[in-house]
């Protein structure tokens, strides 16, 4: 599953809760309190930017073993 903030209730606590759950479910529970501290250190725009950063961290590595799918759909990297 890829985590994404699209469709998440825009309430600040819902956004942080979703992000915290994504981090926990992907083995990054050690980052949850750091994310919450950073997210609450500014305004709502800061909260969204911080949560997007941590959602990206949660998504890292989720699809590393899907290279066959990339080749099937023609999404191969040109670097190879």
Claim: this prediction has a pTM higher than 0.85? no
Position 5 in a domain: no
pLDDT value, residue 61: 73
pLDDT single digits (tens) 6-18: 999 999 999 999 9
Q: Which residues contact 76 (CB under 8 A, 6 or more apart)?
A: 70
Taken in order 37, 43, 48, 52, is the CA torsion positive or negative?
negative
Name the token pair of 29: 């529970």
Which range marks the domain in which residue 36 is found? 12-60
| Calpha distance 29→71 (Å, rounded) | 33
Position 78 in a domain: no
Position 70 in a domain: no
**CB atoms inside a 10 Å sphere around CB 65:** 8
Report the domain count for the chain: 1
Of residues 57 and 77, more confidence is placed in: 57
Position 39 in a domain: yes
pLDDT single digits (tens) 15-64: 999 999 999 999 999 999 999 999 999 999 999 999 999 999 999 977 66
Position 52 in a domain: yes
């Amino acid at each position: 599953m890829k985590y994404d903030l699209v469709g998440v209730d825009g309430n600040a606590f819902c956004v942080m809760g979703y992000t915290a759950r994504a981090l926990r479910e992907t083995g990054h529970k050690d980052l949850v309190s750091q994310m919450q501290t950073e997210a609450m250190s500014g305004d709502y725009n800061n909260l969204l930017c911080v949560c997007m950063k941590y959602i990206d961290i949660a998504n890292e590595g989720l699809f590393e073993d899907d290279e066959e799918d990339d080749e099937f759909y023609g999404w191969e990297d040109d670097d190879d």
